[in-house]
Every structure is written in C-alpha cells, then in structure tokens.
C-alpha cells in the first residue's frame, strides 16, 4: 500500500471507530433512559393496583394519560436499542384504559376491580421487561 493511500485509510478507519463508539454511547443512553421511564410505569402500576371504589375518575384519567405519554417515550427509545416485551406493555396499558372506560360518574365504582386487575397485569409486565432489559444490565 502506498504512503498516500495509508494516509487516507488510517484517518478513515479512525473515523469509523469513533462513530461506532458514539453509536454505542447513544444506545447505552437510550437503554438507561428507557429503564428510568420504565420505573415510572412500575410506580404507576403499583398505584393502579390499589385504586379504590370512591377514587375520583379524573385523578385516574390523569394517571392513565401520563402512562400513555411514558409509553410513547418508551416506544421512541426502543427504536434505538432492541427491547423485548413492549407488545405486552401495550396490552397491559390497554387493560387499564378499558377499565377506566367502564367508570361512570365521578368515582370509579365497579370499574375499580377491573383497574386493579389491569394494574396487577401492568406490574407483572413491568417486572418482566425490567428483568429482561434493566436488571441484568
């Protein structure tokens, strides 16, 4: 290889190494942010498991809206790094939304049992995804 070609190849290789390290850093940051957002889901799931019949519907509606925003962030982050189990998280969150839709009036009433069950499912799913993605890393 000629000296001129070496002088072109070496900087090119170094650039590729630097770019690949930067990509690894972004994936690592995405995984850390994913795990932080996932912890929010776990905390909300615990609260949903404990909702009471007389709890205001508006209060729960706000929690569900917050969960949906967190889920959007999780979806965005999952595109940057391979994350298993997000479809289960979607399903569990849908269960919470459906439970909330059963509420009538200002308090949860009979919908509380459905929301408790959905919160339990969301917590189980949180634990599965957390164990697979965050706990082992």
Q: How confident is the model at residue 10 (pLDDT cuts 50, 70, 90)?
A: low
Determine the average pLDDT of the residues in 44-53.
Answer: 88
> Is 8 within a domain?
no
φ, ψ at 105 (rounded to 5°): 80, -155
Question: Residue with structure tokens 């809206």?
Answer: 65
pTM, two decimal places: 0.71
Residue 41 belongs to what domain range? 33-135
Is residue 47 domain-resident? yes
In the predicted model, is pLDDT for residue 136 greater than 60? yes
Residue 74 lies in a domain: yes
> How many of the other CB atoms lie within 10 Å of CB of 117?
15
Length of the chain: 137
pLDDT score, position 90: 84
Please write the tens of the pLDDT for every residue from 61-105: 888 898 889 888 888 888 876 776 678 888 888 888 888 888 777
Q: Which of 40-44, 47-51, 80-84 has the lowest mean pLDDT?
A: 80-84
As for how many domains the chain has, the answer is 1
Whether 75 is covered by a domain: the verdict is: yes
Average pLDDT across the chain, whole number: 78
109: left (phi over 0), alpha (psi -120 to 50) or beta: left
Q: What is the dihedral of CA 133, 120, 46, 43, to 10 degrees?
A: 30
Q: Which pair of tokens denotes residue 130?
A: 């957390």
Burial category of 49 from C-beta neighbours within 10 Å (exposed 0-12, middle 13-18, buried 19 and up): middle
């Amino acid at each position: 290889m000629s000296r001129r070609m070496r002088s072109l190849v070496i900087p090119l290789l170094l650039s590729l190494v630097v770019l690949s390290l930067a990509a690894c850093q972004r994936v690592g940051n995405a995984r850390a942010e994913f795990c932080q957002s996932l912890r929010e889901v776990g905390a909300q799931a615990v609260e949903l498991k404990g909702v009471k019949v007389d709890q205001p519907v508006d209060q729960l509606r706000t929690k569900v809206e917050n969960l949906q925003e967190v889920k959007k962030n999780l979806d965005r982050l999952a595109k940057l790094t391979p994350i298993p189990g997000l479809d289960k998280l979607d399903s569990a969150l849908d269960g919470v939304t459906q439970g909330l839709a059963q509420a009538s009036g200002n308090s949860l009433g009979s919908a509380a049992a459905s929301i408790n069950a959905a919160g339990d499912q969301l917590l189980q799913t949180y634990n599965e995804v957390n164990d697979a993605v965050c706990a082992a890393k």
